[in-house]
Structure 1
């Protein structure tokens, strides 16, 4: 994959005041989806770090929820998936697009688990291009409850109907189930060693959610800052390293994204994992 116009830019970015090439890519992707979906399209909604003002170019993904009026026919879903995958190959950043297409009914009712028409991310890229996805099957994703909560709380409409008209409220318990499912994966075995800054900052974010009663949702950036204020001092150097690497402007390859291309203290990561496990005992 060729990365177009990569550059190192300092500080967090937010839509729409982000690097011009990132903004242009998102606008072009929105236009592509409008062309592919036509009058079936209800709206396209940005969530995640770019919507919350904590997008760091070398590490962050671009997170989108696309809502369509009705379920997509298998042939159309396959065509749209290929178009998204091809467009993503010309993105200007290492981080990819993470995008789900859901029906207007699913967006409004939020059944658990949430059904989706199409999902695109780096892990789906080759399967989509190799036509290995069976779009005639009904598929659900437990993580979508979390994504839809972020849209509802802190999302940005890029085109189409306003968020309050399209999305129903996500039950907090369903949101927390999705969050804790991801948390459980992080603290299983040695997964935190495989994805250290993601694991450390998400642990902080989950502990923040469980310690507060605000029913607000937080970015990884905000979770890390909370961890430095509220978690034991012993873990502050690890949390600070995770934040520094997450925020770094140093370009990284796809292979380096999980670690930031840096060395980590394996034992400290496992100790922090064990602390996180004990938090819920």
Structure 2
């Protein structure tokens, strides 16, 4: 199993793609573009080609016309801009909204596209599942890589810890009960949530998995199997015992609840 370091930087496989993504975004948004940031696995130093998505946050002047948002979705969609990763998950925020801590979705555009993702472009956050965006903004504030514009912490506020913990509780429920998640991703997202509760820091999924496995002997075999599976392409991911995954996520849910209770009593 390979063991990528947690070094920061844009992987070589993604540089031409992200350079072109930034160029097209600058053309469409012009002077109303504030910043473009790599988040997710790229920001956390554990991008895996053939497995990982590319997660990007774009911040614009909220006065950017709706027509420009629709144009941006069109020019960034695969295969017009061929995505070399499993998919692109790009979220556009107004600069006014991300300057304030928030636990809401709050986007202007949410674009999913790529060879392994169903195409989707949403321009209305009403009814969106907010926890994905809260976690992404928290990661962006702490670790986002600026592809254009000022450093991420100067542009994107960190959501309050209570809001992050509420988002993690929702994330754990989704990974325990939701459909369409690979078993290894369910486990390793749980590890990342548990490590955030313990340390207050965002780790890559694999580093979080190693940390939890070292500390929790009862889950070591399950997490080891998840790490081995995560090192494979998505189509070759291995099944994990469903009962063991549920038990692990229940344990993670307890850790999140304990952290939330401690935050509330602090």
**Is TM-score (shorter-chain normalized) higher than 0.5?**
yes
Q: Aligned partners of 1:264, 1:90: CA distance in 2, in Å? A: 32
Answer whether contact 1:88 1:96 (CA < 8 A) is retained: no
Tell me the residue number matched to 1:195. Answer: 182
Tell me the residue number matched to 1:29. Answer: 21
Structure 1 residues 277 and 66, CA, compared in 2 at 3 Å: closer, same or farther?
A: closer
Q: Secondary structure at the match of 1:205?
A: helix
Q: Aligned partners of 2:44, 2:125: CA distance in 1, in Å? A: 31
Asked if 1:38 corresponds to 2:38, the answer is no
Q: Which has the higher contact order (CA 8 A, sep 6+)?
A: 1
Tell me the residue number matched to 1:54. Answer: 46
Tell me the residue number matched to 1:264. Answer: 240
| Equivalent residues in 2 for 1:60-99, closer than 5 Å | 60-86=52-78, 90-93=82-85, 95-99=86-90
Q: Secondary structure at the match of 1:150?
A: helix
- Among 93, 102, 111, the alignment partner of 1:120 is 111
Q: Secondary structure at the match of 2:138?
A: helix
Answer whether contact 1:44 1:67 (CA < 8 A) is retained: yes
- Among 139, 147, 168, the alignment partner of 1:179 is 168
Name the count of aligned residue pairs.
Answer: 252
| Equivalent residues in 2 for 1:86-235, closer than 5 Å | 86=78, 90-93=82-85, 95-122=86-113, 126-128=119-121, 133=122, 135=123, 137=124, 139=126, 141-188=130-177, 194-210=181-197, 212=198, 214-231=199-216, 233-235=217-219
Q: Aligned partners of 1:59, 1:88: CA distance in 2, in Å? A: 21
Question: Over the residues paired in the alignment, what is the CA RMSD in angstroms?
Answer: 2.8
Structure 1 residues 164 and 239, CA, compared in 2 at 3 Å: closer, same or farther?
A: closer
Deviation at 1:63, TM superposition (A): 1.1
Deviation at 1:205, TM superposition (A): 1.8
Structure 1 residues 270 and 179, CA, compared in 2 at 3 Å: closer, same or farther?
A: closer
TM-score normalised by structure 2 residue count: 0.82
Deviation at 1:11, TM superposition (A): 4.6
Answer whether contact 1:187 1:276 (CA < 8 A) is retained: no
Deviation at 1:220, TM superposition (A): 0.8
Structure 1 residues 143 and 271, CA, compared in 2 at 3 Å: closer, same or farther?
A: closer
Q: Gaps (5+ residues) in structure 2? A: 259-266
Tell me the residue number matched to 2:11. Answer: 18
- Among 242, 245, 254, the alignment partner of 2:229 is 245
